[in-house]
Every structure is written in C-alpha cells, then in structure tokens.
Amino acid sequence: MSRPQPHTFRQGGHTYTGTWPGELLLAGVGALVGTAARYALGTWMDGGLSDASWSRGTLAINMLGSAVLGLLVGATEAWAHVDRPTRLLLDTGLLGGFTTFSRWAADAAGLMATGPTLVGVVRAAVFLAGTVVAAALALALGLAVGGALGMRIPTMAPLPLAALGGALGAILRHLIDLAWPYERRGGLPWDLFGANVAGCAAMGYLAGRIRDLRLRAFLLQGVIGGLTSFAGVVWTIWESAERSAWIGAGAVVVLGLVAGVVAAAVALRRFGAYPGGSGNAGGLV
C-alpha cells in the first residue's frame, strides 16, 4: 500500500503540509468528543422532557458552543494563523460535533406544529430569532473573556497519536489487572503499584531520549499516561477506607508513591534531565 502523499494548504499567508488521513483523524477525534459531550449534556438537560416541543439542551449547547468559539478566537491574537491541525480538531471537529444545526431546525419545525398555523409560525420565528440572538451574545461574551485572557493555543497536530497511545496504555493496565486478579493479590492494589512504578521508570528513561514531538506525545503522554493512574490511587484509598482495610492498601499506595518517585528520579538522573544527570529531557510532556 502506497504511503499517503502530503498536500499543502495556504492559510493566512502561511503554508501547511499534511496528509488527508491525519487530518481526517484529527477532525474525527474532535467530533467524537464534541458529539459525546452534546449527547450527555442534552440528555441531562432534557431528562423527563421527551414530549417537549423543543429541546432546552439544544439551546444551551448552541449557546455554549458559540461562547467557546468566541473564547478561542478572542484568546488568540490571530485565529486565522492558528495552524490547520489545531483548527481541524477544535473548529471542524470539537465544536462542529458539539453544536447542532439540524436539531435546532427540527425544534423550529416542531414548534410550528404546536397550534394553529399562524401561532406555530410565530412561535418558530421567535425561537429561531431568539436562539440566534442568544448565541451571538454568547459569542460576544466569549470574545471579551478570551481577549482578556490573551492565551496562546498550542498546536494539536500530535493529539491523535497521544489519544492512540493513551488507549493502548489503558488496555495494557487492564491486562495487568486481568493477569493479576483481585483474589490472587489478596485484595491489595499490587496491579496499580506495578503499573505506576513501571510507568514512572519508563517516563524517566524515555524523557531525555525522545526529541520528536509526535513520538513524545504517543509514548510519554499517551502510552505511559494511559498505563499509570493517579485516579486509581485516590479511588483505592477511598475504597479501602470504606471496607476498613485501609492499613494494608494504604501501605501499598504509600509504597507505590515512594517507589514511583524513586524510579523516575533514578531514571532521570541516569538518562534524563534530572539535575546532575547526563541528558536533557527538555520537559516530560
């Protein structure tokens, strides 16, 4: 199979080079998150209102999406010059998947059928105009807040690689849990201990050796980030306290924290950017 050929795209006086599969993946990842967020927020806001003629969730979603767009544009001095991968992820993908035009139009059509023709048309017109005005006000608010923040949006080109690596790391952590089931480890979180310590050691070792931004995103923020779990440590402490077994589990957690820090420090000192070490990691993430 031939390798996808890169293409060039000119935007705002700048030229970007990319491949169609990579760009499709960026837009898809953003849309995946945006659509899931829209479904969750819409379901929560419209709970018990399935017979309503219009969706409160859709109105809130479109207003929130407009506000976020305003925030991004206002926070970036030249949104037109934000690199193409980042725009594909945030604009085409995330906000495109989060906001919805079709449901908005369907709600307007539903309002037209709620009474006599004239009444229904008036209701739909008020709904459409009101939504546009509310979204415009939300956009203006986002622009104002974003302009006050003046933050810089970093490139999102490596994000699909980080997401893929995170999925692989989480799968690996789950495989460790399956290979070392709860009963065999005496109810203690030794699986979490092993995953976290191994991940810390790997982070310290690889941080100073990998320079490529995409490879760092895949391995450091992705695979190792997905393999290790801070939330798992917190949950273990909470769960152990509930079943009055916090002494043994707490000891394993504390041991894991100490071992993880030591493993990362030793690996960084020998291979990475730790003071006195032989390399320069240039940052862990």
Nearest CA-CA partner of 219 in 207, 234, 235: 207
- Helix/strand/coil for 283: coil
Residues 6+ apart with CB under 8 A from 148: 74
| pLDDT score for 274 | 41
Distance separating alpha carbons of residues 270 and 277, to the nearest angstrom? 5
Pull the structure tokens for residue 86.
């980042």
| pLDDT score for 92 | 83
Letter string b/e over residues 254-280, b meaning 16 or more CB atoms within 10 A of that residue's CB: eebbebbeebbbbbbbebbbbeebeee
Residue type, 141: L
Q: Is 148 exposed, middle or buried (0-12, 13-18, 19+ CB in 10 A)?
A: exposed
Pull the structure tokens for residue 52.
């309503």
| Whole-prediction pTM | 0.57
CB neighbours of residue 118 within 10 Å: 8
Distance separating alpha carbons of residues 23 and 49, to the nearest angstrom? 38
Distance separating alpha carbons of residues 284 and 169, to the nearest angstrom? 17
- Helix/strand/coil for 222: helix
Encode the chain (285 residues) as per-residue pLDDT tens digits: 455 555 555 554 555 555 567 778 888 888 888 899 898 888 888 775 555 566 788 888 889 988 888 887 776 655 556 677 777 888 888 888 888 888 888 888 888 877 777 888 888 888 888 888 888 888 888 888 877 776 666 666 677 788 888 889 988 888 888 887 766 766 667 777 788 888 888 888 887 778 888 888 889 888 998 888 877 777 766 666 666 666 666 677 777 778 888 888 887 777 655 434 444 334 444
